[in-house]
A and B are shown apart, each in its own frame.
Chain A
């Protein structure tokens, strides 16, 4: 498995870049292994690098209450094909985060039990979280 770890200088925590296609397996290992035991998913979010790099970063902020360790897990997905496996099977708390990111960025979390809209009105078109979505001048709801 291609697995690259680098330690961020500006972000005072371990940053682990992992392949998006295996993110659920990696997350599962990080949670269950005693040496890491990241049982607490603090935050899951998407950062939009569509304009420069045609990609999204899905960022997972993890914390271990036992070791008081923290870690950032990042998976890169292509903006043209924004799909990656869900981590709701690992942390249930990923549920609404993934639905929110699906609403705002159009990222498909494969295997998510229920990817209905969460915070946008039903029938809203477009992905307002993305940089390409204008702040003003879109159709009035």
Chain B
């Protein structure tokens, strides 16, 4: 197979005889971004798949080394561009850990509330587009409507719908408005109803179940070997959630469950995200109750200079285990800042999931991994 795309050679890939090659992407509505895969088919059966990434590579990790930390926050917004707050949290936690900073409680609660709302927004997109991949248009319209409500709240809080640049080393940019708790509480009720609607419409629908049950099965041990994380890993029965496993911020103060699947198929991966969105609502309600007035920022120099050293922190992003490895030489820019992008690892397992399924399922399987190419390519 060549990089130019479609080849017509008939070759044996070991799984069966491939008699057709199909090039899917990078401009394809169901690849959720600029992602390309070459599929080798035996009539309609996928016998081999070669994913190609890099179309969105912006050299973020190189750029990090030339910017000061407050500028890097804006670059982190653009990694996983539908869970921006979660990305920002990963970076500021790394710098804070290296500088040994204590973050005020109120700032932590604001962060948790925003991150969990972002998780719900991200899962809403997933549920909507996943249904859309199978031809169901309605859930995506409802879910985008609900997500827009979250983004409106984000805009009122941070000034931007998506590229917030709101978290700071040692706190957050500004305090939330007085009406914020009441607004969030109202929003949560609406979101809960919205998630219930999507759940009722979709989850047990006969066609939906037929399309997703037993499709793209991955075993827990194999998934772990690929470095898969997040809901994709938990669907295979491995109860690994960073918020519980290695609690960061104030997550140890909340009572919430970690849904775990057993089949490791597309339906489990889908349904876990529905359940997770509900758990996030629980977390936010508790956070609103526990949040008290107080300072929102520790005193730090305007230009942060972490001491010489290195640190690895990770956080549970909507897509999985988001890691930040920061090597500092004591300067105002990092010496090396490497991101562990969860989608990147989840996508690596794609070939294993696709082989043996029909070409119509490729869209469903890719959709169930919930990738964001901004993070895969960086």
CA distance A4 to B215 in the complex (A): 46
Given the known interface contacts A93-B345, A118-B54, the answer about A128 and B323 at a Cβ–Cβ threshold of 8 Å is: no
- Judge if B358 is at the interface, Cβ distance under 8 Å: no
CA distance A73 to B225 in the complex (A): 17
If over half of A's interface residues share one DSSP class (helix, strand or loop), that class is named, otherwise mixed; here it is: loop
Given the known interface contacts A48-B336, A93-B227, the answer about A42 and B54 at a Cβ–Cβ threshold of 8 Å is: no
CA distance A119 to B34 in the complex (A): 12
CA distance A8 to B310 in the complex (A): 9
Minimum CB–CB distance from A128 to chain B (whole Å) comes to: 6
In the bound complex, residues from chain B placing their C-beta under 8 Å from that of A45 are 325, 336, 338
Given the known interface contacts A10-B307, A42-B314, the answer about A120 and B57 at a Cβ–Cβ threshold of 8 Å is: yes
CA distance A93 to B221 in the complex (A): 12
Among A41, A93, A95, A133, the most chain B Cβ lie within 10 Å of the Cβ of A93
Minimum CB–CB distance from A2 to chain B (whole Å) comes to: 23
A42 engages B309 (CB within 8 Å): no
- Judge if A17 is at the interface, Cβ distance under 8 Å: no
Minimum CB–CB distance from B234 to chain A (whole Å) comes to: 12
Minimal Cβ-Cβ distance residue in A for B61: A129
In the bound complex, residues from chain B placing their C-beta under 8 Å from that of A95 are 348
CA distance A59 to B335 in the complex (A): 14
- Judge if A121 is at the interface, Cβ distance under 8 Å: yes
In the bound complex, residues from chain A placing their C-beta under 8 Å from that of B66 are 135
In the bound complex, residues from chain A placing their C-beta under 8 Å from that of B184 are none
A119 engages B57 (CB within 8 Å): yes
Instruction: Determine which of A41, A48, A119 lies in contact with B54 in the assembled complex, contact meaning CB atoms within 8 Å.
Output: A119
- Judge if B3 is at the interface, Cβ distance under 8 Å: yes
B377 engages A96 (CB within 8 Å): no
**Contacts of A114-130 to chain B: CB distance below 8 A:** 116-122, 128-129
Instruction: Determine which of B225, B314, B323, B377 lies in contact with A93 in the assembled complex, contact meaning CB atoms within 8 Å.
Output: B225
Minimum CB–CB distance from A46 to chain B (whole Å) comes to: 9
CA distance A39 to B120 in the complex (A): 30
CA distance A139 to B312 in the complex (A): 34
CA distance A118 to B376 in the complex (A): 11
In the bound complex, residues from chain A placing their C-beta under 8 Å from that of B76 are none
Number of interface residues of B (CB under 8 A): 42
Chain A, interface residues (CB within 8 Å), range = 35 or more
A128 engages B62 (CB within 8 Å): yes
Instruction: Determine which of A42, A117, A133 lies in contact with B323 in the assembled complex, contact meaning CB atoms within 8 Å.
Output: A42
In the bound complex, residues from chain A placing their C-beta under 8 Å from that of B221 are 39
If over half of B's interface residues share one DSSP class (helix, strand or loop), that class is named, otherwise mixed; here it is: mixed
A120 engages B54 (CB within 8 Å): yes
A91 engages B227 (CB within 8 Å): yes
Give a binary string over B178-205; 1 marks a CB under 8 Å from any A CB, 0 the rest. Answer: 0000000000000000000000000000
In the bound complex, residues from chain B placing their C-beta under 8 Å from that of A121 are 54
Given the known interface contacts A65-B238, A92-B225, A96-B348, the answer about A43 and B323 at a Cβ–Cβ threshold of 8 Å is: yes
Give a binary string over B294-323; 1 marks a CB under 8 Å from any A CB, 0 the rest. Answer: 000000000000011111101000000101
Minimum CB–CB distance from B248 to chain A (whole Å) comes to: 13
CA distance A8 to B66 in the complex (A): 26
B340 engages A42 (CB within 8 Å): yes
CA distance A135 to B60 in the complex (A): 11
**Contacts of B35-66 to chain A: CB distance below 8 A:** 53-54, 57, 59, 61-63, 65-66
Minimum CB–CB distance from A81 to chain B (whole Å) comes to: 21
Give a binary string over A65-92; 1 marks a CB under 8 Å from any B CB, 0 the rest. Answer: 1001010100000000000000000011
- Judge if B240 is at the interface, Cβ distance under 8 Å: yes
CA distance A45 to B62 in the complex (A): 13
Q: Can you pick out 27 interface pairs between chain A and chain B where the beta carbons lie within 8 Å of each other? A: A8-B309, A11-B310, A11-B312, A12-B311, A39-B224, A39-B225, A42-B340, A43-B312, A43-B323, A61-B323, A61-B340, A65-B238, A70-B312, A91-B225, A92-B225, A92-B226, A93-B225, A93-B227, A93-B348, A96-B344, A104-B61, A117-B54, A118-B54, A119-B377, A120-B54, A121-B54, A122-B3
Closest 8 CB pairs of A and B: A93-B227, A10-B309, A119-B54, A45-B338, A43-B340, A119-B57, A93-B226, A47-B336
Residues of B within 8 A of A (CB): 3, 53-54, 57, 59, 61-63, 65-66, 98, 221, 224-228, 238, 240, 245-246, 307-312, 314, 321, 323, 325, 327, 335-336, 338, 340, 344-345, 347-348, 377-378
